[in-house]
Structure 1
């Protein structure tokens, strides 16, 4: 075990699993049964990670990003542990629903979704009216209205600040990822009048590590200010 793994384990978190951590005979039996290459995951570790998150954030609604792993058993496991499932494509929405996740715990959040995806997700919503969609542009709101959607709709905000392990995955400050704070109140008012307004959303970035939380605090502050402004209106 490396120093980093020991540190994670001593801090209460699971160590990164390497090949040596797995039972050799189990892996050999799986390879013999299914052939190789073979993707193996451990539901017990998935459950452990979910429980650690819920223990760390007991008052939060935690949503699992389906794009991390869309196998039905993974989706079922995270949902059994109390997590909702956020989907970045229509295909992920279909996988989540096929896995038995109720529409009330499925959220579709995409960047500039193609027409086919919107058609598919709106069709899924018609059968699962509690499903939530996140719109990151006024144009997406228009396109949803054209398709007859009037259900639960969140507004994705670009708060002007983000974080991530590389500049290409810092989404919070990029104009591609959500509407600006200056435009948000007007679009939110429209959503509130034509849809079931389900709140605001922001994504700081991906691969975030380290102890520097300044950008996160600023993102939360800006989103909190916006939420209070919208509630006051």
Structure 2
């Protein structure tokens, strides 16, 4: 529950920061678990992929998203290898561009998309259609037609209207669509309410407890153009333990058995979802892929054995766990302001040249992030700081609380780790800001994979700028 109707940023909060944020032993050092695998400090300057961020900003400007290719690929391989025998789907909604889609395919992963635009990126990147899954609670007629014509590997159906629509489309096209039924298992994931997606009161999926899921299965089986692959369950995002998966798997496998017994169909597949968490701050302790694979496989194997079921082919969706830690965002400091609060406390605001247009998660989810001074070393005493953006909005906060050197000032660069997921993909043009570029780095080289927007890009969508009022 938010403490203030205008948002958490307006509420009274302690200046000392949260209890989990401890004084750093060395404010110049990186906390390794928060950063991509190649990140390090060289004489106080952040280096990623062998490229100093000072050089990167000099060439590409700031703010900029810095994508560590080697780290991204290593995390993709780690999930692929740990979940051997599974189909591992990269979540396009976390961050997607043509280059990343190619990396996903090259590393042997499948790709999950949830819009026509994401599907278009996959097609442009040459991802084989049979390795694409299409999600979404309200896919349009045109999106479904394109998915069927392309022959995507699976469409995750989410409503009775969609089942009817897809059955009609396949009949018109003389085609067959492979589908999974997204179900809600009634499990509350231990995460933010907006990204916990398996409880009953939300927009996704068919309820198991109400009987809607079984009814949807019957409708699909009765439709000649639909091939039922199995059930899909997703309990949320930024999840650190397997407890929720265990409860959900039990309920989903009970439905799996019921379909076999009552409908006479043995479904060959099952998707366990994913949404595995990453470390945004030192309070986060994510599990590694091997541990997750062991726990999820044990859960499903034991439950299938108890029900005398053959274990279906399993798939997972790691979500942010692949791209989230592989990217950081670099900003330039513009102003520093010390504000005296009631009781004599002082809040120090470090304003940077980006903000909620390139990272909405702090304002939207009350998310926590970390940061480091990225352009030099400092011997100044530590200072509890709040890193804020340049937008005309009090809630425009990038990092709520972080220790920075007390001499941080205009012209310094600060970098925020863990911004690979849902930052560029949810970026906006608020205040007509132009969205930053994504610069991939590896082995000392840098290349732009998503260019910086320009004012011309904004004005290109502004129809008939010469028209007068009333015309």
> Shared fold by TM > 0.5?
yes
Determine which structure has greater relative contact order: mean sequence separation of CA pairs < 8 Å that are 6+ residues apart, divided by chain length. 2
Q: Give the distance between the partners of 1:159 and 1:123, measured in 2 at CA.
A: 30
Contact 2:133 2:152 in 1 (8 A): no
Aligned pair partner of 2:243 in 194, 211, 214: 214
Aligned to 1:192: 221
What is the RMSD of the two structures over their aligned residues, measured on CA atoms? 2.9
So what's the TM-score if we normalise by structure 1? 0.83
Q: Which has the higher strand share?
A: 2
Report the counterpart of residue 137 of structure 1 in structure 2: 159
Contact 2:39/2:49, CA 8 A, preserved across alignment: no
Q: Is the 8 A contact 2:130 2:152 kept in 1?
A: yes
Larger radius of gyration: 2
Q: 1:157 to 1:71 in 2, by over 3 A?
A: same
Q: Measure how far apart 1:206 and its partner are.
A: 1.1
1:225 paired residue number: 254
* Alpha-carbon contact 2:38-2:50 (below 8 Å) kept: no
Identify which of 126, 138, 142 aligns with 1:100: 126
Superposed CA offset, 1:50-85 (max 9, x none): 121123222221111001111111111122111111
2:195 to 152, 169, 172: 169
TM-score between both structures, scaled by the size of structure 2: 0.43
Q: SS at the partner of 2:237?
A: coil
Return the offset for 1:91. 0.8
The alpha-carbon distance between structure 1 residues 215 and 23, as it changes in their structure 2 partners (threshold 3 A), is closer
Higher fraction of helix: 1
SS at match of 1:161: coil
Report the Cα distance in structure 1 between the residues aligned to 2:190 and 2:101, rounded to whole angstroms. 25
**Superposition pairs of residues 47-58 of structure 1, within 5 angstroms:** 47-58=73-84
Q: Distance in 2 between matches of 1:108 and 1:14?
A: 29
* Structure 2, gaps ≥5 residues long: 1-23, 265-471
Aligned residue-pair number = 223
Shift of 1:191: 1.0
| Residue segments in structure 1 that go unaligned for 5+ positions in a row | none
The answer to whether the aligner puts 1:71 opposite 2:97 as a matched pair is yes
Matched, 1:82 2:105: no
Structure 2 match to 1:179: 206
Instruction: State whether residues 93 and 121 of structure 1, in contact with CA within 8 Å, keep that contact through their aligned partners in structure 2.
Output: no
